[in-house]
């Protein structure tokens, strides 16, 4: 398994995207304080996403015939890395660009590709993903939201929860049960595209510890969908979701959630003139872990570029990456508390407070640590 993490270089053509992305990202964050830049994942700015689309920086892995860049996963790696490193607001296009467009491209009908994908590439169609349900957590096989066939299509009933940005999205790609029951586990699950403006849909925000409300509950009460809402094969939803999650779990987004805090703290160390062995050792540890995780993420991107579906490799990166992201705020808090005589920028403290509050969610979103370790164990033949 671990030999799959072979060293890979980013192609120069893709590296050449960095100056353009850096300039656009710098313009977007120039007036944002550090604690707002630390909200990059949840920073919702539809105008910024449309600007990225106009610059050709969305849909980079999508063929040109659907409005995409006709490039590979390495190009998207470069763009995502630069946006997160700057703390740019990526939430508006985040899910559609990373997961929805590739899913529709791989499993959708030609009509679905023609309708949705060009709008995603322009930053004009915003998507959320409906997977988690009350009582099921990351156990997607226990999904109970049902879609029943009607003469015109499907009728949807049930509830999703922890649905990121559903309050602001145009569409949801929902994992629902179209046959069987929870006892059937992975059988009978399908994916449907749901227009969130349809009658019968109620969306209620959920506030997190930081006071932000980018999660929501979504209720479906006799929602009528047309027949072409189905993506791929009926009953093949589990297989499609597993492939989709490889896009979500393997990228640089699983490394940089706390990077603005790390940057702020290192800037503080420079300003304070602190360079004792203990401090340098801590900084060096963070840098070594970050460099290793980045190398693993690039290796996983190379597998995606080769047309593989690195589900287990992506799970390893997410598990290790979120542990790194969660360790940072605790270690930086301990360091600052150990040097009470140092004067620090209030923005550093606000950033530390935000990241400390949100960090527990890092190992929940996109699959809990327990689910990921189950996938890894199966990949290693241990269960």
Residue positions annotated with a catalytic role: 248
Which of these, 155, 152, 153, 171, lies nearest to 163 by C-alpha position? 171
Sign of CA dihedral 159, 131, 357, 207: negative
Residue 338 burial class via C-beta count within 10 angstroms: exposed 0-12, middle 13-18, buried 19 and up: exposed
Residue-by-residue DSSP string for 12-76? HHHHTTHHHHHHHHHHHHTT--HHHHTTGGG---HHHHHHHHHTT-SSTTS-GGGTS----HHHH
Backbone angles phi, psi at 220, to 5 degrees: -115, 120
Q: Name, in order, each residue with C-beta under 8 angstroms of 198's C-beta and a sequence gap of 6 or more.
A: 223, 224, 225
Distance CA 284, CA 270 (A): 14
Nearest-CA neighbor of 231 among 280, 175, 273? 175
Conformation bin of residue 367: beta by default, left when phi > 0, alpha when psi is -120 to 50: left
Spatial contact of 271 and 352, defined as CB atoms under 8 Å apart: no
C-alpha to C-alpha distance for 218 and 367, rounded to whole angstroms: 19
Provide the pairing of β-strand 215-226 with 189-195.
Answer: unpaired
């Amino acid at each position: 398994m671990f030999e799959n993490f072979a060293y890979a270089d980013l192609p120069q053509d893709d590296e050449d995207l960095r100056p353009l992305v850096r300039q656009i990202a710098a313009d977007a964050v120039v007036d944002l304080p550090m604690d707002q830049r630390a909200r990059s994942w949840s920073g919702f700015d539809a105008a910024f996403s449309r600007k990225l689309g106009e610059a050709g920086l969305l849909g980079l892995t999508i063929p040109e015939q659907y409005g995409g860049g006709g490039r590979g996963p390495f190009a998207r790696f470069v763009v995502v890395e630069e946006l997160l490193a700057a703390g740019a607001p990526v939430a508006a296009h985040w899910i559609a660009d990373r997961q929805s467009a590739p899913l529709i491209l791989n499993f959708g009908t030609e009509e679905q590709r023609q309708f949705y994908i060009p709008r995603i590439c322009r930053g004009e169609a915003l998507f959320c993903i409906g997977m988690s349900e009350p009582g099921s957590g990351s156990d997607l096989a226990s999904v109970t939201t049902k879609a029943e066939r009607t003469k015109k299509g499907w009728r949807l009933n049930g509830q999703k929860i922890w649905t990121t940005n559903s309050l602001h999205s145009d569409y949801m790609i929902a994992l629902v049960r179209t046959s069987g029951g929870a006892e059937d586990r992975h059988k009978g699950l399908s994916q449907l595209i749901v227009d969130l403006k349809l009658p019968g849909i109620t969306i209620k925000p959920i506030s997190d510890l930081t006071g932000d409300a980018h999660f929501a509950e979504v209720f479906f009460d006799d929602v009528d969908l047309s027949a072409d809402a189905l993506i791929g094969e009926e009953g093949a939803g589990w297989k499609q979701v597993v492939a989709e999650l490889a896009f979500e779990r393997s990228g640089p987004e699983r490394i940089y959630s706390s990077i603005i805090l790390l940057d702020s703290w290192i800037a503080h160390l420079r300003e304070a003139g602190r360079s004792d062995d203990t401090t340098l050792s801590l900084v060096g540890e963070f840098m070594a872990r970050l460099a290793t995780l980045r190398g693993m993420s690039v290796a996983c991107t190379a597998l995606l570029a080769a047309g593989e579906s690195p589900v287990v490799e992506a799970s390893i990166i997410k598990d290790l990456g979120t542990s790194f992201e969660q360790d940072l705020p605790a270690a930086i808090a301990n360091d600052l508390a150990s040097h009470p005589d140092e004067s620090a920028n209030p923005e550093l403290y606000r950033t530390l407070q935000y990241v400390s509050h949100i960090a527990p969610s890092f190992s929940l979103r996109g699959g809990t640590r327990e689910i990921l370790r189950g996938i890894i164990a199966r990949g290693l033949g241990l269960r």
